[in-house]
Amino acid sequence: MALATRTDPERPAQKGPRQRPEPPRKPARRPSLIGSVWRSTVGKKAVMAVTGLVMLAYLAAHMFGNLKIFFGPGEFNHYAHWLRVIGEPALHYEWFLWLVRVALVASVVLHGVAAYQLSRRDLAARPRKYARRRQGASYATRTMRWGGVILGLFVVWHILDLTTLTVNERAEPGHPYQNVVATFSTWYGNTIYIVAMLALGAHIRHGLWSAIQTLGAGRPHRDRALKIASTAVAVVLAGGFISVPIGVMTGVVS
């Protein structure tokens, strides 16, 4: 008698050893909005634009604050003290400064990581030979990458110089005016700051323009005006910062 075997018409006949039934699959998780934005190229560009604008706002405030140095040690040192007591008594001593520091560190990290990942994506999207020789990166892209690296290194030096006073030989805690004068009384202090400020100007000029385009505010009919405005912001900021070492070098600030 022939043995009757029941076969499931929906299942293919099993070959070889019997397979274990698959464990029930977890329902696929919907990707979070933040995760999806971060993974997309346009999302990373938006993160770069927003964090760049946060840093630009800080730099504008910092540059205008620095100009107080032209009003003498009393006013500049008082301003440096005021930065630490903003928000008192609601906020404790230096709390506001710490909030700004946290926002800045978060912006720097997000800006740098997004820039690195975008440049890796850019290279991966090119044919191999082309990617190896790095010919594809435009002049502006290369300037932005190297400018960003220079500025990152500068900020580390700057904090060691005027915040922790580690590398500033003649610095005294609690005397920011005298510490700035000490920095710009050395040839290397002037060189480091002026080179970094020029890199900052170039970075802001192109970065601000790109941020405006990424955030959708660019229009063909106002391209020229936006380019001029980005250049003007870059010149005012870099020029304002550079006026301090020039002031010390020329004896206007002493």
Q: Which residues bind ligand HEM (CB under 6 A)?
A: 59, 62, 66, 80, 83, 101, 104, 151, 155, 158-159, 162-163, 176, 180, 193, 200, 241, 244-245
Nearer to ligand HEM, 41 or 164 (CB): 164
User: Quick check: helix, strand or coil at residue 202?
Assistant: helix
A 10 A CB-CB count for 59 gives: 17
Give least dist CB 159 to ligand HEM, A: 5
CA distance 207 to 200: 10
Shortest Cβ distance from residue 245 to ligand HEM (Å)? Answer: 6
Residue with Cβ nearer ligand HEM (46 or 248): 248
CA distance 184 to 134: 38
Q: Write down the least CB distance from residue 197 to ligand HEM, Å.
A: 6
Separation of first and last alpha carbons in the chain: 113
What is the C-alpha to C-alpha distance for residues 49 and 19, in angstroms, rounded to an integer?
Answer: 53
Cα distance between residue 190 and residue 187, in whole Å: 5
Nearer to ligand HEM, 16 or 173 (CB): 173
In the complex, least distance from residue 22 CB atom to ligand HEM, rounded to whole angstroms: 54
Nearer to ligand HEM, 38 or 58 (CB): 58
Question: Which residue, 188 or 224, is less far from ligand HEM as judged by CB?
Answer: 188
Residues 6 or more apart in contact with residue 192 via CB below 8 angstroms: 154, 157
CB of 104 to ligand HEM, least distance (A): 6
